[in-house]
Structure 1
Amino acid sequence: MIETTTSQTAAAVDTAQIVDVREDFEVAEGMMPGARHIPMGQIADRLGELDKSRPVHVVCRSGNRSGRVAEALESLGFEVYSMAGGMMQWQAEGRPTVSPA
């Protein structure tokens, strides 16, 4: 698992899978454009939604949960990155957010 910056994750949005592992109430405040919401507790049941041939960037509120999820995905053979600072950092930088689908 590699820790990335918000800039690196933003640059990867067209080639990587961005997975937001926060809870519904957190995502309701806005998420990264292009991200897919899979709460941390549902990752194991929803692995089939992820493509092992593409990198996965994991995002959470502050970077803690995303690191744990990234380590788990890496152990399953995914190329995984965890965004340092999470959505708190993303929003502090004034980056865009969208409402969940």
Structure 2
Amino acid sequence: MPHAAVPTVDAASVPATGALLDVREQDEWEAGHVDGALHIPMGQLLARIDELPEEKLYVLCRVGGRSAQVVQYLVAQGRDAVNVDGGMYAWEAAGRPMVGGGGREAFVL
């Protein structure tokens, strides 16, 4: 059975006030992330699903694979979620702001 198309958005088109969900692992998050994003590693999502805001979610990972799986799951649960195409690499390439952990310069791991 084919999977339904995963809704996606270009990194440059994510609204500045959009609710971001970062599903990368802790070391990736600490290297560089979007200030204000909610960080829930993909493997913890089911246990922490109640932490998600009710608004539309823009889901990020490093390149878009894990976030696509999360979006597919959330959409199947009736949630409004979209995958950020290209993940954090595309976010960085679009010149969108990032912060590093511990005051270090941000980079995508």
One fold, TM greater than 0.5? yes
Give the number of the structure whose alpha-carbon radius of gyration is greater.
2
* TM-score of the two chains, using structure 1 as the length reference: 0.87
SS at match of 1:44: coil
User: Percent sequence identity over matched residues?
Assistant: 36
* TM-score of the two chains, using structure 2 as the length reference: 0.81
For 1:34 and 1:88, locate their aligned partners in 2 and report how far apart those are by CA, in whole Å. Answer: 18
SS at match of 1:77: coil
Q: Which residue of 2 aligns with 1:98?
A: 99
For 2:94 and 2:78, locate their aligned partners in 1 and report how far apart those are by CA, in whole Å. Answer: 32
Letter in 1 for 2:32: G
The count of aligned residue pairs is 97
In the alignment, structure 2 segments of 5+ residues that lack a partner are 1-5, 103-109
- Which residue of the other structure, out of 2, 5, 8, is the alignment partner of 2:13? 8
For 2:47 and 2:65, locate their aligned partners in 1 and report how far apart those are by CA, in whole Å. Answer: 21
In the alignment, structure 1 segments of 5+ residues that lack a partner are none
